[in-house]
Amino acid sequence: MERTDELEMFRTTLRIADLHPDAIALPDDCQVIVGAMRLHYLDWGGSGAPILFLHGGGLTAHTWDCVAVMLRGRYRCVALDQRGHGDSEWSPVVDYRVAAHLGDIEGFIDAMKLDRPILVGQSMGGLNSIAYATRHSDRMRAMVIVDVAPEISASGADRIRDFAATLELDSPEEFLERAVKFNPIRDPAVLRRSLHYNLRETPAGKWMFKHDQRRRTDEAMRSFSDDRARLVSEVSKIKCPTLVVRGALSDILTDEGAEKFARSLPDGRWVRIEKSGHNVQGDNPRALLDAMLKFFRDAGIS
């Protein structure tokens, strides 16, 4: 797809979201080597306090486009394709433990020289942000965790896992049909743009999600559950201001779960975003932005 076509799709997505940035532009596509991994990231520019955006499992850095383009005027915005996702390298040893992601994030922040960053993570990216903060919250300005906590609904997670585990289909249109059924909240044009960045064509002419399906083996899922359980005992170490965001229609995180997680943090609070499910940043980016900016103001972050 030509860059001009990408820009037009982005304009449509922003119009649907009722977002009106000062300038509509696409980010720079960049690569960096962290340890032995080649990681892809989107650099939105900006010269203010750095924000590192981390996507959920099965998604890509582009899930944050609407949020990042609105914040780039006052913050330094960078969105990472985490290992095994988007245009980043797949782990050659199939290591997708939280510890592996944590090492990538530590190395990426160091390589990019992000001074006292704000971490904004959704779902898997939220858990990885929590893990980072348990070690480094003294070097963070703040954290925003979107629709996840160390304790979540297993049935909701299974529903998302089943959708993301789609193997091969004949065309992007077939993926779009499934995506519309899976998430009727989202406008089909917005879903089409998301899929543009999250599908790849196979040598046989079929289409697949870009993420590494090997990360969803039974053993990997058990390891991931164990990692989440360990985080429960470590969240009290997180000293930076933290906003927990829950999508009002989410089947992953309940109001009670969001409130419980926020109360377990030394400096936590939570907010419910209406008209959104698990992927709040895609379903209702405008309301998410309003909540984030209020949180930043309350926390004294410029």
Asked if residue 293 belongs to a domain, the reply is yes
Tell me how many degrees the CA angle 116-42-227 measures, rounded to the nearest 5: 60
Asked if residue 183 belongs to a domain, the reply is no
Domain CATH code at residue 57: 3.40.50.1820
CA distances from 148 to 89, 121, 163, 216, 224 (A): 25, 9, 18, 18, 14
Asked if residue 172 belongs to a domain, the reply is no
| Alpha-carbon span 182 to 160, nearest angstrom | 9
Q: How many domains does the chain have?
A: 1
The pTM of the full predicted model, rounded to 2 decimals, is 0.96
Q: What is the predicted pLDDT for the residue at 230?
A: 83
Q: What is the predicted pLDDT for the residue at 221?
A: 66
Asked if residue 48 belongs to a domain, the reply is yes
Q: What is the predicted pLDDT for the residue at 131?
A: 96
Q: Are 195 and 233 in contact (CB under 8 A)?
A: no
What is residue 158's three-state secondary structure? helix
Q: What is the predicted pLDDT for the residue at 284?
A: 98
| Alpha-carbon span 124 to 55, nearest angstrom | 7
- What stretches in the chain show pLDDT beneath 70? 1, 217-218, 220-221
Q: Are 146 and 121 in contact (CB under 8 A)?
A: yes
Residue 259 lies in domain: 3-153+218-298
Asked if residue 197 belongs to a domain, the reply is no
What is residue 292's three-state secondary structure? helix
Stretch (H or E) spanning 69: helix 65-71
Among 60, 48, 110, residue whose Cα is nearest residue 85: 60
Asked if residue 15 belongs to a domain, the reply is yes
Asked if residue 171 belongs to a domain, the reply is no
Asked if residue 95 belongs to a domain, the reply is yes
| Alpha-carbon span 145 to 175, nearest angstrom | 28
CA 210 to chain centre: 15
| Alpha-carbon span 199 to 294, nearest angstrom | 35
